[in-house]
Amino acid sequence: MEWRDEGIILGTRRHGETSVILEVMTRDHGRHLGLVRGGRSARMQPALQPGNRAELVWRARLDEHLGTFQAETLAHNAARILQTAIGVYGIQAAAAHLRLLPERDSHRRLFEMLALIIEHLDDPQATGELFVRFELMMLDELGFGLDLTRCAATGTTEDLAYVSPKSGCAVSRPAGAPYEQRMLPLPAFLDRRNAVRADAQSLRDALRLTGYFFNRHVYEPRAIGEPEARAGLINALQRQIEREGSAA
């Protein structure tokens, strides 16, 4: 068995004295693991850092085997990622989310979104917005997608201001006003028709929204906790966005 694909490195773990198990998110083969012989060498270690983009060749005798990887670096992103807390927590949080999916299932949309997040990790505002969209996409791929396009009560697509914590559907401001205390805020930047960017408060609301449904549908049923890297990313984003806002 053999295939070639492009992948983003999520992490490694030691295997024996000289090798590593490489974990990657590929464009067409999903999250995939494989052995890299000599991966702990001084020559190979810099190439196998999280966030780097690589051309991969995977080989195995049978499809169900771990197999081996050959990796040729296409983009050395790790040096830039590791310079900031947002970069470190961002790649770690994204990898933790991707591990919720079955290994080797193709999720091309998530691959492309992960690549976009990595490209914008030096822009806290863009990183926050993209990570929220990544989490919404993850919920959708896990079978718990939210409907933020129209009001669940009236069917209107205008003035959507809330999300029902029960249904995961949007609710318009007039329909949701009597139940505002029980609703989750729907930040305006999540509506692609609105030419608005996230600020510190709307980003907090958006991450609270996705976090609520991750807890309800994923973490609690699986008896696992929220990844520490997610909380670290949220804190790092808030600090940086507030710092930039106060300096403006």
Give the pair of three-digit tokens for residue 31: 């999250």
Residue 17 sits in a domain whose CATH number is 2.40.50.140
pLDDT band at 180 (very low <50, low <70, confident <90, very high): very high
Distances, alpha carbon 120 to alpha carbons 65, 82, 168, 235, in Å: 35, 14, 28, 18
pTM of the full structure: 0.94
According to the model, what pLDDT value does residue 195 have? 76
Q: What is the mean pLDDT of residues 10-32?
A: 96
According to the model, what pLDDT value does residue 150 have? 95
User: Which structural domain range is residue 21 located in?
Assistant: 2-77
According to the model, what pLDDT value does residue 192 have? 79
Shared domain check, 58 and 28 = yes
Lowest mean pLDDT among 85-89, 127-131, 184-188, 199-203: 199-203
Lowest mean pLDDT among 1-10, 60-69, 192-201: 192-201
According to the model, what pLDDT value does residue 245 have? 67
Shared domain check, 92 and 205 = yes
Flag whether 165 is in a domain: no
Shared domain check, 107 and 9 = no
Flag whether 155 is in a domain: no
Distances, alpha carbon 39 to alpha carbons 32, 82, 202, 222, in Å: 16, 20, 42, 33
Convert the pLDDT of each residue in 114-163 to its tens digit.
999 999 999 999 999 999 999 999 999 999 999 999 999 999 999 999 99
User: Residue 200 — φ and ψ, nearest 5°?
Assistant: -60, -45
According to the model, what pLDDT value does residue 185 have? 97
Flag whether 178 is in a domain: no
Q: Which residue, of 77, 106, 140, is where some domain finishes?
A: 77
pLDDT band at 63 (very low <50, low <70, confident <90, very high): confident
Overall domain count for the chain? 2
Please give the angle made by the CA atoms of 131, 49 and 56, to the nearest 5 degrees. 95
